[in-house]
Structure 1
């Protein structure tokens, strides 16, 4: 099953609609969706390494725009939508502590959590909820999301052929590792934030 899914994503990467799918996942991940855009960016970049930087730019722009939606959810709709999403991911009791952290370390919270596997939607929604300065939020989001996606693009561009061979030989192990990173991000956010 994993092999079919992987092969489908690799084949899909050649289609003109692939960048739109990456943009959609990147946008949604920053506000409501639990799956990180890496699951598309990695195979798309491995299939089309000459487009590594383009895919990173698409993921960055879409993620930042989605982050603005997450910010708006936190600022304008926290009691209805924002609280529901935070509770859905199991972080409801941490929201007030996270908001207090913004009073002292807001910029560091965005920079550090935006590049880690911690779900970025928690940062975006809580930034709006904390009424963190939207211009600083936007600037820091561009920096941190850009760093994450362009670093990944650089690694894949440089190590692409070796990475593709490794992934294709050990697809189950790689999938388990990616799932573990996503779960670890949720656990860290739940117990460290």
Structure 2
């Protein structure tokens, strides 16, 4: 894996684009690590790197989804124990949107969410929408930190980025759940039949 990482690093920004694309499909190491190392080398290009990584991830997302749709059962059974697969499938059925959104912010390889979405036949447009929000925030928070603070941002990323991303992810999920709750409540109010005395 280190050899592959070095090879991708040698291509610079294009290497990050390719890494982000295959991160959403099959590669086990998140593109985040290559983004950080390339941004530390050239902080003035950090926003450009974030944009390329983001584009690669969005292009790779439907490919990972298609892989999950066609071979998800085979792939997931190979890499996960049956009890883990059953519990994650049940969890994904109940909280798919929240899982994708939080997963977009975490260092967990994004391919798990794209493949699981395809396997569960989760709507592709929803996967792309939540990936666009979560992955965009993740790539651009790193990019902005490096662009503003230069190489000093590497310590910030190492120390605080996980907590920042988790907090932003939880905030997005809270807003999403509140919107769903208000919509459900309005729908119940509209369908409620007044009781005759």
Q: TM-score, normalised by structure 1?
A: 0.70
**CA shift at 1:163, angstroms?**
4.0
Deviations along 1:119-154, one digit per CA (max 9) or x if unpaired, are 211111001111111111111111111111111112
Distance in 2 of aligned mates of 1:92 and 1:71 = 21
Contact 1:49 1:157 in 2 (8 A): yes
Which residue is 2:134 aligned to?
A: 144
Paired residue total: 155
Determine whether 1:67 maps to 2:67. no
Larger radius of gyration: 2
Indicate conservation of the 8 Å contact 1:102/1:132, yes or no: no
Segments of structure 2 that go 5 or more residues without pairing to the other structure are: 163-197
Partner SS for 1:132: coil
- Tell me the distance in 2 between the aligned counterparts of 1:137 and 1:94: 22
**Any unmatched runs of 5+ in structure 1?**
168-173, 182-193
Q: CA deviation at 1:89?
A: 4.0
- Asked if residue 119 in structure 1 is aligned to residue 109 in structure 2, the reply is yes
Is the alpha carbon distance of 1:50 and 1:91 closer, same or farther for their aligned partners in structure 2, counting shifts above 3 Å? Answer: farther
Q: CA deviation at 1:157?
A: 1.9
Q: Provide the residue aligned with 1:131 in structure 2.
A: 121
Mapped contact 2:92–2:99 kept (Cα < 8 A)? yes
CA contact (8 A) 2:77 2:85 kept: no
Query: What root-mean-square deviation, in Å, do the aligned CA atoms of Structure 1 and Structure 2 show?
Result: 2.8
